[in-house]
A and B are shown apart, each in its own frame.
Chain A
Amino acid sequence: MPQVTIIVNGATTTQEVEGRTLLVEYLRDKLGLTGTHVGCDTSQCGACAVHVDGKLVKACTVFAVEADGAEVATIEGQALPDGSLNPIQQAFQDHHGLQCGFCTPGMVMAATALLQENPKPTEAEVRAYLEGNLCRCTGYHNIVKAIMAAAGQPVAAAS
């Protein structure tokens, strides 16, 4: 079996994998990082969203071998060094941007990618960016509010 080395949240990891091992399986089953969720397993729902070399991808639709040598960021690496929530995570809590929480890791990773590309998005841009992340609880409004707040934008605009 091929051996791959992937830097996950800053830590170098090396594991033997099969060709067909998905990146999300690598994270969850090999490394025990179960914060990255498998929702649909068909690249629709975005619960498995992570960053590979800074780019948002769906970890259920990338092979671990394809990430060999890459830097991967997951939800486990998002908190501040002291363990407290980062501003995006905190905004999700403050604005009730989650109910069951299943989609939340993917939502936070998508929001982080959005704000890196576009630090001051409009509400329409936030909604468009979340097209690949499904939430069945919130109706999205509070997620959009949270992301607007994290971007330092007026939340009233996202009513």
Chain B
Amino acid sequence: MYAFDISRPTTIAEAASLLENEEAQALGGGQTLIPTLKQRLAMPEVLVSLMSIPEMKGVCVNDAGEVCIGGATTHAEVARGTDTLYPALSALAAHIGDPAVRNRGTIGGSLANNDPSACYPAFALASGALIKTDRQEVAADDYFQGLFTTALDEGEIVTEIKFPVPQRAHYEKFVQPASRFALVGVFVAEFADGVRVAVTGASEEGVFRWTDAEKALSHSFSPDALEPLSVDADGLIGDLHGDGHYRAHLVRLMTMRAVAHCLAA
């Protein structure tokens, strides 16, 4: 690693001020950033740790029944804090990485990074979450803008994620066992006004909504409703673990399994 300093602010305002330095970089749990630094793929002068900011931690429910999660809440804390509120999210968080990674990595860090195979982007997009930062509030539909690309500006911090709880939901992950990321993951969420289906691990553009499946499932919430559908392999990720056609197959299959799980629950 190149040399850098670390700051540990205790308020969002202090962190935002430190991040005005264009050579500064926000540090969440570091489970992606620290390996990146070790490869010398980044050269910040100062890392601004977001892990000592109490206002960015924890899970709560507001008066409207929406769940709010602080950006610096770890995967383990998300899993524990949402197990009765939103079991599909709790299960997703409980299967990211491994136990040690889940004790450090944060939901805000994952959403800020927007890895095309990460799990949280599928949850946020399918749940119609609102991503709150120190500067703005962005709907998930506008937040995810491609591979490792989001609506965040330089030095902007994901402070909170707010979302309604669907009537039924499930995340089905076909795990890539070496990385523990999703080879393909599909989050299905059924709301009173329709179904949302978000897919991670499949597209070269990152997480996306499978709108054909949403229409079919909003009409009839059953795996059979997906039978006539297929996914175009163009633009899907092809690597040594699976080509685009394989991933296209998995998208449909994981969606069917997620719906079947919702119906069995």
Contact = CB atoms under 8 A, between A and B. Distances in A.
A113 B99 contact: yes
Contacts of B101: 43, 58, 61, 132
Chain A interface size, under 10 / 10 to 19 / 20 to 34 / 35 or more = 20 to 34
A55 B103 contact: yes
B115 to A, nearest CB: 15
Contacts of A68: 8
B35 interface: yes
Contacts of B3: 18-20
Given A42-B38, A43-B31, A43-B35, A65 B100 contact: no
A46 B49 contact: no
A49 interface: yes
Nearest to B97: A132
A8 interface: no
B13 interface: no
B4 interface: yes
B1 interface: yes
A56 B104 CA distance: 9
Given A58-B100, A132-B98, A132-B100, A63 B35 contact: no
A22 B35 CA distance: 11
Interface in B87-118: 97-101, 103-104
Contact of B8 (A22, A56, A65): A65
Nearest to B180: A131
Interface centre among B2, B37, B47, B98 (most CB of A within 10 A): B98
Contacts of B2: 20
A107 interface: no
Nearest to A1: B5
B23 to A, nearest CB: 13
Interface in B1-24: 1-6, 8
A63 B38 CA distance: 12
Contacts of B5: 2, 19
A94 interface: no
A57 interface: yes
A12 B180 CA distance: 36
A71 interface: no
Interface string A57-70: 11001110110100
16 contacts: A2-B5, A19-B4, A19-B46, A20-B1, A43-B31, A55-B103, A57-B100, A57-B104, A58-B100, A63-B30, A65-B6, A66-B8, A68-B8, A110-B99, A113-B99, A131-B99
Would you list the 6 A-B pairs with minimal beta carbon distance, nearest first?
A132-B98, A55-B103, A20-B1, A19-B6, A131-B98, A65-B6
Given A19-B47, A61-B104, A132-B97, 14 more contacts: A18-B3, A19-B46, A20-B4, A41-B38, A43-B100, A46-B100, A55-B76, A61-B30, A61-B34, A61-B35, A63-B47, A65-B6, A66-B30, A129-B99
Interface of A: 2, 18-20, 22, 41-43, 46, 49, 55-58, 61-63, 65-66, 68, 110, 113-114, 129, 131-133
